[in-house]
Amino acid sequence: MIDRLTGEFQSTDVDVIVSIESRGFLFGAPLAYKLGVPLVPVRKPGKLPSDRMTVEYSLEYGTGQLDIHQDALEENQRVVIVDDLLATGGTAMAAAKLVELLGAHVHSFAFLVELRALGGRERLHDYKILSLVSYD
């Protein structure tokens, strides 16, 4: 799987991999390593030690929050956001908002699994999406 993701992004100008807590770290870390770019974690509230930016987002069953360090990204960096699952797209959109609030650009999203019936791809329609396995 990591080899497939590496192949997808090796010839692009990706500057940073942003991984969403916590299973996204399992895929984002080796991808960042193989591409030779930094890994930036997006985490649940209260887990990052430095000054951070926070967004709140809607979930199917309530709300959630995600944090990123305020100095994690530089303006105009090209970012791939990595997570294990694309369902409704709420968490992914929140991560994209954090990236864009810091002045970077979302190059694309990479997911291991996509549950198409839940509409996440439509919610992320402005972005390139790579999912390795899709279920209807």
The residues carrying an active-site annotation are: 23, 60
Q: Kind and range of the H or E element at 122?
A: helix 120-123
Tokens standing for 97?
């908002």
Task: Give Cα separations from 124 to 6, 26, 30, 51, 128 (angstroms).
Answer: 22, 22, 24, 28, 8
3-state secondary structure of 108: strand
